[in-house]
Chains A and B, each alone.
Chain A
Amino acid sequence: GDSVTQMEGPVTLSEEAFLTINCTYTATGYPSLFWYVQYPGEGLQLLLKATKADDKGSNKGFEATYRKETTSFHLEKGSVQVSDSAVYFCALAPQGGSEKLVFGKGMKLTVNP
């Protein structure tokens, strides 16, 4: 079945450091890919998404590119801030709809000043 594998962490970085969170997926066809962020004590918020190969999603300085050839959707940010401390989930929606979002296990990021 469909699955998502991502770095689990936890990861601690200093402010202004470069961030990469790896995410790879297994799915048939062309799923849609997402990064969700969960701040402490809150629900999930969509950070960015991509719906077809070579699409780049971007938001709040974060970027991820849908790579069909490597089945990857790695999240990057050039300079993290303390406010980026959160748990990051990679997810996919199977081709044809979002009836079942498949999540990775999540990665907790802490950014220190």
Chain B
Amino acid sequence: DAMVIQNPRYQVTQFGKPVTLSCSQTLNHNVMYWYQQKSSQAPKLLFHYYDKDFNNEADTPDNFQSRRPNTSFCFLDIRSPGLGDAAMYLCATSRDFRDDEQFFGPGTRLTVL
């Protein structure tokens, strides 16, 4: 089945130690999104790619970076994780901006010790 895959499902890192989260998709969608979801809150959009064009939300901290080396993969890099960055990180895709449905992966739960 075509899908959005996130690895790992659970990630533990230490305060200040860089971490990378991975997302891949078999849907061949143009747009890929990264969301941060803290406990009992709605997902918050961090940034998205339309093909290779990167779009950062205005309030996304500089500590968060992203890479999209090809259509299928997108990475979220947290350069110096703080305790406040512990959250679920959700990857999503959509075919196009004219296509209004987003497909979500299962998420990566990040713990910062």
Q: By the criterion CB–CB under 8 Å, are B41 and A105 in contact?
A: yes
A105–B42 touching, CB < 8 Å: yes
A106 with B40: CB separation less than 8 A:
yes
B100 within 8 A of A: yes
A77 contacts the other chain (Cβ, under 8 Å)?
no
Q: Does A100 contact B (CB under 8 A)?
A: yes
How many positions in chain B have a CB within 8 Å of any CB in the partner chain? 27
Could you tell me the dominant secondary structure of chain A's interface residues?
Answer: loop
B residues near A45, Cβ cutoff 8 Å:
104
CA distance A41 to B39 in the complex (A): 11
User: Which residue of A has the minimal Cβ distance to B9?
Assistant: A41
Q: A43-B105, A44-B90 are in contact. Are A97 and B40 (CB under 8 A)?
A: no
Residue in contact with B100 in the complex, picked from A41, A97, A106, A108, CB distance below 8 Å:
A97
- For chain A, the count of residues having a C-beta within 8 Å of the partner chain is 24
- Chain A nearest CB from B37 CB (Å) reads 9
A101 at the interface (CB under 8 A from B): yes
B99 with A98: CB separation less than 8 A: yes
Give, as a whole number of angstroms, the nearest-CB distance from B20 to chain A: 19
Min C-beta distance of A91 to chain B, whole Å: 8
> Which chain A residues border B101 with CB–CB below 8 Å?
34, 46, 49, 98
Q: Whole-angstrom distance from the CB of B8 to the nearest CB of chain A?
A: 14
| B90 with A93: CB separation less than 8 A | no
Please judge, given known A-B contacts A100-B45, A103-B42, A105-B41, whether A44 and B97 are in contact too, CB under 8 Å: no
Residues of A near B107 (CB, < 8 A) are: 42-43
Residues of A within 8 A of B97 (CB): 96-99
Shortest Cβ distance from A90 into B: residue: B42
Q: Are B104 and A89 in contact, CB atoms less than 8 angstroms apart? A: no
CA distance A101 to B44 in the complex (A): 9
A101 to B40, CA, bound (A): 18
- Which chain A residues border B102 with CB–CB below 8 Å? 46, 98, 101
What does the 1/0 interface line of A83-113 toward B look like (CB < 8 Å)? 0000001000100111111011110100000
Query: B100–A98 contact, CB under 8 A?
Result: yes
Does B82 interact with chain A (Cβ within 8 Å)? no
